[in-house]
Structure formats: structure tokens, C-alpha cells
Chains A and B, each alone.
Chain A
Amino acid sequence: MNHPVCIIDDDDDVREVMSFALEYEGIQSIPFASAMQAEAYLSNLTPEYLPSLIFVDFMMPEMDGMEFINLMREKYPDTLGKIPMVMSTARLAEDTDVMPAGVLKLEKPIDLDHFIKIAKEHYLPSVKHASVS
């Protein structure tokens, strides 16, 4: 089993098709409809079960992608804060020019090949598996 790739996006269809595309490439994923849900789930994982990579949408209600990334880095600096993050965005380039350090930007509409390439590059094989309920 492998460390999954997280997908956080409030658009149901986008989330579903991103997960499906990864699944088809043999990459396990965990989708979340909000940053709050993702934090609630991820913060309970022990380090050996942490995801390989997190895709998070920029524009979401309650907590946006930027807030989520900052929260992960401030609240969980040694665990979740160290996971590679990719922020997807449909906003105009100038709105998201200033990205947190080390965060990749994935422009919407998403190029599928590019998305899969990033996921493959970061997907970590492991013998342990985080159970998803």
C-alpha cells in the first residue's frame, strides 16, 4: 500500500474526476470537500500514515487554500506542514502570484498530464496504509 495523495476541492465533479484519474494511474487518493474536513482527518494521522502530496484548491468557502497551507505549516510544522503542497486556482494570475514558499501552482482548467506527472513524482510507496473510513 502507498501513502495516498490528498485532493481538497469544494467542486464535487472536479474532485471526483481528479481522484478517478489518479486511481486509473494506480495512485491512491483521498478526496475532501473542504479544508476543514481535510484538517480534521489529517491531523489524526500518525506520521507514518501521512499523505505523499496534497492538492488544495485556492478558492473555497470557510478556509481557502492559502489559509490551509499556512495553517498546516504553523500548527503542524513537523508533520503535515512538511508534506509537498500544490495549489490549484482558477483566479487570475495576479491574485495568486505570491505563493507560499515551496508550493506549486496548478492552473485551472487543469492539464491532466501535468497533474498526473506531479502526482507520480511525489507519490511515495510504503508498506503501511492509512485506512480511510
Chain B
Amino acid sequence: MCLAIPVLIKSIEDKEAEVKIGGITRRISLWLTPEAKVGDYALIHTGYAINILDQEQAEETLRLLKEIAEAEEKD
């Protein structure tokens, strides 16, 4: 459940943001994420940002998965 996708915050005006994903832009609400900044990636669900994506953690996860892939290949 809970379809939420990561979007890039392009601009902020009051409690609203203009966001972009894959060439689509939309206005979304920042009522649930007042700490959002331009340049952040946010998870949006039904037109609201529900969380700010942790980009470092995303890179870390991918790094971990790459390590697993390399280790498994060797075996």
C-alpha cells in the first residue's frame, strides 16, 4: 500500500513545493515535512511529501548490494 515516489524539490513557496520526477512536474504539499529544502528528494504520497529521502543512506544501500553481488560472483 502507500504508493510513494521520490521526487526532486525544485522550489518552495510557503507550505508548497514544485517537484520534478522524470520530466513530470507537480505542486505538492509540505505540511508533513516543514524541514524540506530545495534540492532535497522527498517521498510523495497523494500529493504530500511524507519524508525527506536520505540520499547518503540510498548510496550506502547500493554500495552494500554491489558488494554482495561481487562477493557472490566470486563464489
| Interaction A to B | no
| A interface with B by C-beta (< 8 Å) | none
